[in-house]
Amino acid sequence: MHPVGPLPASVYWRRRACAVGVALLALFALLWLTTWLLIPRGSDEPAGTAARTTPQSSQTTPDTGTAAPAAPPGSPSPASPAPGTGAPASVPLPDPAAPGPPPAAATGTSAGPATPNAGPADETVRPDDTPRPSVQVPQAAPSPPTGPVPCTDAMIEVRAETGQPTYPSGARPELRLVVTNVSGQPCVRDLDGAQQEIAVWSGDGATKLWSSNDCSNPSSDDLRTLVPGQPVAFAVTWTGLASEPGCAGERTRVGPGGYRVLARLDRVVSEPAPLLMS
């Protein structure tokens, strides 16, 4: 309890503590090693292997509910088909799938885009409410007390338009008739469909190839007050087929080339608008 020596007592107490610690560590290591060697270790084989190799002691038959003897080791299970024998007879096989439609190449059809079409096949002239810019006109004059005056031919302008300058061959161009009051006062004009006409002429202007009045010329009661500078438009979808008055004869498709489109309201005829069929 009382260290004796030339060094201070604290030095001897630290030496004793280190010796005791080392002895305790050695003792714990010896106990762990002894326990590891004496206690048997578990099997390294997976638990699933033992479960798969353990044969069933009995099976319950579906008819009587009694236990059936276990199958000898190595024999095929009753619920599984023997190798190479196919599916059990009690399990119906699926019906073969019905053949699908033939590919497009076999039927002569194409999955590509159809012939360009600007609208329906009806060639009846119809109102076109597409917004349009106003036209500059002389300074407006007040209407007389009796109301707007009838529009004379000099007070209106008729213009022909196409939906686009060029259409591919086989397309259905959209053609328009535009009426504008170019006078300085409102006026009244009958825009009856029977007085309207949109026509396609040859490039040299010598031959009329198609007219909106040949196959469809419905009359309509369309008395309007035309505001100065405000266009009023009508449109028709041309099928690209030539026509004759009364829709007589066989209609043939016009070929590629340059054409003229003219519009008419009664006796007022427009300037030609170019139309190119490529």
Reported as a single tens digit per residue, the pLDDT across 228-278 is 999 999 999 999 999 999 999 899 999 999 999 999 999 999 999 999 999
Structural domain includes residue 44: no
- Residue 203, Cβ neighbours under 10 Å: how many? 14
Structural domain includes residue 66: no
CB 139 within 8 A of CB 228: no
Structural domain includes residue 2: no
The long-range contacts involving 126-129, CB below 8 angstroms and separated by at least 24 positions, are: 126/234, 126/235, 126/236, 127/233, 127/234, 127/235, 128/176, 128/233, 128/234, 128/235, 129/233
Rounded distance between C-alpha atoms, residue 4 and residue 18, angstroms: 18
Reported as a single tens digit per residue, the pLDDT across 96-133 is 333 333 333 333 323 333 334 434 468 999 999 988 89
Structural domain includes residue 178: yes
Six token digits for residue 9: 């007592």
Closest-CA residue to 277 (of 200, 171, 198): 171
User: What CATH number is attached to the domain comprising 264?
Assistant: 2.60.40.2360
pLDDT band at 42 (very low <50, low <70, confident <90, very high): low
Provide, for the chain, the percentages of residues in helix, strand and coil under a 3-state DSSP scheme, each rounded to the nearest 5.
20, 25, 55
Structural domain includes residue 117: no
Give the whole-number percent of the chain exceeding pLDDT 90. Answer: 45
Is residue 134's pLDDT more than 50? yes
Closest-CA residue to 173 (of 238, 125, 263): 238
Structural domain includes residue 170: yes
Rounded distance between C-alpha atoms, residue 108 and residue 86, angstroms: 42
Is residue 66's pLDDT more than 60? no
pLDDT band at 4 (very low <50, low <70, confident <90, very high): low
Q: How many domains does the chain have?
A: 1
Structural domain includes residue 6: no
Query: What pLDDT sits at residue 22?
Result: 80
Reported as a single tens digit per residue, the pLDDT across 186-242 is 999 999 999 999 999 999 999 999 999 999 877 888 899 999 999 999 999 999 999
CB 161 within 8 A of CB 130: no
CB 93 within 8 A of CB 87: yes
* Placement of tokens 């300085």 in the chain: 184
Please report which helix (H) or strand (E) contains residue 20, including its range.
helix 9-38
Structural domain includes residue 164: yes
Domain that holds residue 221: 126-277
Amino acid residing at 129: D
Closest-CA residue to 232 (of 262, 173, 172, 189): 189
Say whether pTM exceeds 0.95: no
